[in-house]
Structure 1
Amino acid sequence: MSSLLRRVQRGLARVGAGPRAATLGQRGEAYAARLLRRAGCVMVAGGHRGRFGEIDLIVVESRETVVFVEVKTRRSLRGGSPAEAVGAEQQRRISRSALAFLKAHGLLEHPARFDVVAIVWPKGSTRPESVQHFRNAFHPPDRGQFFS
Structure 2
Amino acid sequence: MGTQSLFSRIRKQLASVANGRRSIQDWYVDRRFGSIDPTAPLGRRGEQVAARELRRKGLQIIAESESDRAGEIDLIALRKKPRLMVFVEVKTLSTTRPGHPADRVDENKQARITRAALRYLKRKRLLGIPCRFDVVAIWWPREEPQPTRIEHIESAFDATGVDSFFA
**Counterpart-to-counterpart distance in 2, 1:23 and 1:54:** 17
- Pairwise CA distance, 1:76: 2.8
- Looking at structure 2, the residues matched to 27 and 96 of structure 1 have their Cα atoms a distance apart, in angstroms, of 25
Q: Aligned residue for 1:5?
A: none
Are the structure 2 counterparts of residues 134 and 76 from structure 1 closer, same or farther at C-alpha, using a change threshold of 3 Å?
Answer: same
The question of whether the paired residues in 1 share the 8 Å contact of 2:140 and 2:149 is answered with yes
**Against the structure 1 CA distance between its residues 83 and 50, is the aligned structure 2 distance closer, same or farther, given a 3 Å change threshold?**
same
Gaps in structure 2 of 5+ consecutive residues? 1-33
For the 8 Å contact 2:37–2:45, the answer to whether it is kept is: no
User: 1:137 is matched by which residue type in structure 2?
Assistant: A
Indicate the residue corresponding to 1:62 in structure 2: 80
Deviation at 1:141, TM superposition (A): 1.7
- 1:31 partnered with 2:49: yes
Percent identical pairs in the alignment equals 44
The answer to which structure, 1 or 2, has the higher relative contact order (CA under 8 A, 6+ apart) is 1
Which 5+ residue runs of structure 1 have no aligned equivalent?
1-15
TM superposition shift of 1:79: 5.4
1:47 aligned to 2:68? no
Q: Which secondary structure does the structure 2 equivalent of 1:35 belong to?
A: helix
Q: 1:114 aligns with which of 110, 133, 138?
A: 133
Contact 1:21 1:30 (C-alpha < 8 Å) held by counterparts: no
- Match of 2:60, as an amino acid? V
1:128 aligns to 2:147 (yes or no): yes
Cα RMSD of the aligned pairs, angstroms, is 1.9
The alpha-carbon deviation at position 144 of structure 1 amounts to: 3.3
Which residue type is aligned with residue 98 of structure 1? A
Matched, 1:22 2:22: no
Equivalent position of 2:165 in the other structure: 144
TM-score in terms of structure 1 length: 0.82
SS of alignment partner, residue 135 of structure 1: strand
**Contact kept in structure 2, 1:48 and 1:55, CA below 8 Å:** yes
CA shift in 2, pair 1:93/1:121, >3 Å: same
Q: 1:59 aligns to what SS in structure 2?
A: strand
Find the aligned partners of 2:146 and 2:37 in 1 and give their Cα distance: 16
| Max Rg structure | 2
Are 1:55 and 1:97, in contact at CA under 8 Å, matched by a contact in 2?
A: yes
